[in-house]
Amino acid sequence: MTTLYGIKSCDTMKKAMTWLANHNIEYTFFDYKKETISADWLTQMLAEHGLAIVMNKRGTTYRKLDDETKTLLNDEATPVSQVIALLCANSSMIKRPILTHGKRSIVGFKDSDYETFFA
């Protein structure tokens, strides 16, 4: 089963959706804005890719955080459960798209990366 996670209005998401459609790959779409991210799924993504890859620091949600919260998110001593709670509460701080296919996943979108991922 293939699932694409993200926010429908995101330009990068649109590119990923177009790529999947052009390659006849069926997928389920999980909208961060309409559905609740599970802590278990997020724990899995963090274990596989790391916080630096999964957390979106370029978006307005992250930039609007107070300095204390940013420090907390960037401190390796912060318990993972606390980081997960913050990301679940602010799902637009999770990079997009995240694509899962079976037991594998990929964060972000590049044509060449998707080609390799599905090869």
What residues are annotated to the active site? 10
Record the tokens describing residue 85, joined without a space: 């709670």
Among candidates 92, 81, 80, which has minimal Cα distance to 5? 92
Record the tokens describing residue 14, joined without a space: 């649109």
Please state, in angstroms and rounded to a whole number, the distance separating the CA atoms of residues 111 and 119: 12
